[in-house]
């Protein structure tokens, strides 16, 4: 054990610093265990609430800020076969189903599969309507709305990695 004289004549030992570092490491380990245990379920539920909230808005005509984009995207993806009301209803149903699966954990794998399909629709406007979403001044508010969903994809990947750890089997 080494000691060092400090200005007042007192001595400071390396053992004192080691003790503080040990306590900090123990506290960090407690936090790490908590985050490891609670992080993915919290992320799953938060992601589910986002889909529930935005999906529910789509059931109400004129309430969703992306209604026009949803209708145009379904029109492009279905070659005009899906009309505006059906486009909104299908999108709302998919998003609410995903949200419920994520929040409750019931039928989670099916919900994740539907979520993957919703991401196709979410990012399709970047391909179909790039000229409308990006101007010389930069991305429009609608483009920013779509681009923020990259975070949702990352969150969904973390949730899916945990959900798919166990093998598929009988209940």
pLDDT tens, residue by residue, 93-133: 999 999 999 999 999 999 999 999 999 999 999 999 999 99
Give the pLDDT of residue 154. 94
pLDDT tens, residue by residue, 30-88: 999 999 899 999 999 999 999 999 999 999 999 999 999 999 999 999 999 999 999 99
**How many whole angstroms separate alpha carbon 31 and alpha carbon 166?**
26
What pTM value is reported for the model? Answer: 0.81
Instruction: Scan for tokens 């973390």, then name that residue.
Output: 158
**How many whole angstroms separate alpha carbon 47 and alpha carbon 136?**
33
The domain spans of the chain are 40-163
Are 73 and 80 a contacting pair, CB within 8 Å? no
DSSP state of 83: -
């Amino acid at each position: 054990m080494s000691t060092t004289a400090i200005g007042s004549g007192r001595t400071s030992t390396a053992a004192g610093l080691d003790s503080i570092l040990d306590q900090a490491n123990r506290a960090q380990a407690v936090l790490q265990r908590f985050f490891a245990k609670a992080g993915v379920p919290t992320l799953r539920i938060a992601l589910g609430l986002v889909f529930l909230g935005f999906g529910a808005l789509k059931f109400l005509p004129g309430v969703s800020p992306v209604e026009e984009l949803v209708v145009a995207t379904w029109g492009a993806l279905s070659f005009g076969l899906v009309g505006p009301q059906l486009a909104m209803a299908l999108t709302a149903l998919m998003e609410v189903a995903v949200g419920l699966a994520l929040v409750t954990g019931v039928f989670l794998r099916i919900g994740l599969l539907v979520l993957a399909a919703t991401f196709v629709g979410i990012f399709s406007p970047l391909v179909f309507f790039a000229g409308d979403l990006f101007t010389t001044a930069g991305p429009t508010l609608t483009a920013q709305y779509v681009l923020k969903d990259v975070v949702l994809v990352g969150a969904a990947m973390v949730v899916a990695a945990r959900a798919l750890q166990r093998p598929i089997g009988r209940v």
